[in-house]
Structure 1
Amino acid sequence: MKLATYEAAGHRSFGILTPGGVIDLARRLGVADMEAMLAQGLLGHAGSFANDAPDHTRFRLLKPLHHPGKCFCVGVNYPDRNAEYKDGSTLPKYASLFQRVPESFSGPDEAILRPPESTQFDYEGEIVLVIGTPGRRIPAADAMHHVAGYTLANEGTLRDWIRHGKFNVTQGKNFYRSGALGPYITTRDEAGDGPFHLTTHVNGELRQEDTTDRMMFSMGKIIEYVSIFTPLAAGDIILTGTPTGAGARFDPPKWLVPGDEVVVTATGLGTLRNRVADETP
């Protein structure tokens, strides 16, 4: 299934996205949003409505999770990204992690915002795991059974701000609506476990391309590692890392400017499209 949060006739809801429209799950399940459906373990029940007639044929897609739970991001998870740093380091033993807040993401076809405090605005196309089944200390061999599905992200970054601190990147990763999530969640039973082919285009130019079977830390290993130190809950998300080719790695750098269009695509998971705009102070 493709699960979407959407707006129709001025009302926000969520449901099953079909070629003919969207099937309203809020009305059928009696829950307010995607987060509540996942938290109450209703994903399996939602599938029983997949053949219903669509309730809406005119609608606008929103962020699939308006307020996800914990949001973990994996840094430098493709081997070419590690080589980009040119520091002579061997492949890491543990995943590099940081967190983002929900307000740092726009939705599909919404603007991503360049703040007035920086002109070093960059893109990072990524595949996102959406947790459906809670767990703690989850073995990698069992980890994917805890995944409800996948969505896409542009993990927008203010490059100068990630260097403000010596040991963290939090500042440059959490500017308001600097990134994006969407366009919808593709359930694991439909998408499988990959490998997924991931690309990022800026103004039609291919900038990033790789496949998830080349990640240094597999999706299962990431879930295993994160769930050691914190319980994972339904509605938590994990951004799994971006391939080489971000704007900072060009000479000179190719920073995003207002009017640019960033398009992130992965096989079977749809296309996330956003234009860049300046944030009004």
Structure 2
Amino acid sequence: MRLLSYLVNDKPYYGAATAGGVVNLTGRIGHLYPDLKSLIAGDGLEAARKAVAGQAADHALDDLVLLPPIPAPEKLWCIGVNYKDRNAEYKDNSDLPKYPSLFVRNPSSVVGSGQPIEKPKISEQLDYEGELVIVIGKQGRHIPRDKAWEHIFGLTLCNEGSVRDWLHHGKFNVTQGKNFDRSGSIGPWIVTSDDNDPRGPHDIVTRINGEVRQQDSTERLMFPFDFLIHYLSTFATLKPGDMIATGTPTGAGARFTPPRWLKPGDVVEVESSGIGLLCNTVIEEA
């Protein structure tokens, strides 16, 4: 299934994207599962399938304001420097990492597909980072790698927008540059694991105004999905609806000479053939 969260007349709903549009699940099973995160936590996928079966679409997809599929995850983990060749982009002669680089984002830093992302007025260095995102379906701690796949509910996409000149304001953190309001996006929906095997391989491509800037495959991840779940669950309990952005390929704007920063009017597309297309236009912060 393709499950998504959205607004109609400023009211939140969730539903399933079908060939004909979007079937409203809030109106059908919302008394059991008020939102998509509670549906995941309550193992409600089969109830969602039954609610959608044979139903005509309630909405045209283009008529909706899409939210990130999980608007308020408890944890939004982000992995850095995970595709092969990414370490070399830093040109610091460092060895390949033994463990994943890790930081977190606030929910307010991302919008849904089709919604504008903001270039902050305090910086000219807004950059793009196309990524695949794991959505956790089952709670766990100290999860062995061979059991990790059982904890994945599905996959979605992310533009993990970064404000580069704010990444190193502190001595050892990147948090500031990764958490500007509405600087990134997640969506358009979650494709459930039974319809798109997370074991992959999964392709990922990022385009700016139609030009391919990033393109890679999860076959080239240094820390694959199962390792990330095992590693993160060593120190934190993973919960339903938690999200893990799994890293970006080479080719971000900062790596060009001169850098190619995003500017108002630019269209950022992140696509994976098994998931779909995440698309956002850049605007200037008001």
CA deviations 1:91-145 (Å, max 9, x no partner) are: 1110010000000001101110011111111000000000010000101111111
Query: 2:165 is matched with which residue: 160, 163, 167?
Result: 160
Q: Does 1:219 align with 2:222?
A: no
TM-superposed CA distance for 1:9, in Å, is 5.6
TM-superposed CA distance for 1:55, in Å, is 4.3
Q: Is the 8 A contact 1:259 1:275 kept in 2?
A: yes
Letter of the 1:42 counterpart:
G
Q: Does 1:53 align with 2:55?
A: yes
**Equivalent residue of 2:180, what SS?**
coil
Letter of the 1:46 counterpart:
A
Alignment of 1:136-175 (within 5 A): 136-175=141-180
Greater CA drift, 155-164 or 7-16: 7-16
Partner of 2:254: 248
Q: Percent same amino acid at aligned positions?
A: 50
Q: Does 1:89 align with 2:94?
A: yes
**Equivalent residue of 1:190, what SS?**
coil
Letter of the 1:140 counterpart:
R
Q: Is the 8 A contact 2:23 2:59 kept in 1?
A: no
Partner of 1:62: 67
Partner of 1:44: 46
Partner of 1:185: 190
Letter of the 2:284 counterpart:
D
For residues 12 and 28 of structure 2, what CA distance do their matches in structure 1 show? 15
**Equivalent residue of 1:235, what SS?**
coil
Q: Is the 8 A contact 1:121 1:156 kept in 2?
A: yes
For residues 128 and 236 of structure 1, what CA distance do their matches in structure 2 show? 10
Partner of 1:24: 24
Q: Is the 8 A contact 1:111 1:275 kept in 2?
A: yes
Query: 1:271 is matched with which residue: 267, 277, 280?
Result: 277
For residues 43 and 191 of structure 1, what CA distance do their matches in structure 2 show? 14
Partner of 1:199: 205
Q: Which runs of 5+ in 2 are unaligned?
A: none
For residues 284 and 150 of structure 2, what CA distance do their matches in structure 1 show? 40
**Equivalent residue of 1:268, what SS?**
coil
Q: Aligned pair count?
A: 280
For residues 155 and 9 of structure 1, what CA distance do their matches in structure 2 show? 28
Partner of 1:209: 215
For residues 236 and 157 of structure 1, what CA distance do their matches in structure 2 show? 21
Q: Normalising by the residue count of structure 2, what TM-score does the alignment of the two structures yield?
A: 0.95
For residues 48 and 32 of structure 1, what CA distance do their matches in structure 2 show? 17
For residues 10 and 19 of structure 1, what CA distance do their matches in structure 2 show? 25
For residues 38 and 57 of structure 2, what CA distance do their matches in structure 1 show? 20
TM-superposed CA distance for 1:160, in Å, is 0.5
Letter of the 1:215 counterpart:
L
Greater CA drift, 246-255 or 18-27: 18-27
Greater CA drift, 84-93 or 198-207: 84-93
For residues 190 and 27 of structure 1, what CA distance do their matches in structure 2 show? 24
Q: Does 1:101 align with 2:103?
A: no
Q: Is the 8 A contact 1:135 1:231 kept in 2?
A: yes
**Equivalent residue of 1:231, what SS?**
coil
For residues 255 and 62 of structure 1, what CA distance do their matches in structure 2 show? 25
TM-superposed CA distance for 1:241, in Å, is 0.1
For residues 118 and 74 of structure 2, what CA distance do their matches in structure 1 show? 22
Q: Is the 8 A contact 2:36 2:69 kept in 1?
A: yes
**Equivalent residue of 1:36, what SS?**
helix
Partner of 1:74: 79
CA deviations 1:182-241 (Å, max 9, x no partner) are: 000000110112111100000111100000010000000000000000000001000000
**Equivalent residue of 2:85, what SS?**
helix
Greater CA drift, 131-140 or 23-32: 23-32
Q: Which runs of 5+ in 1 are unaligned?
A: none
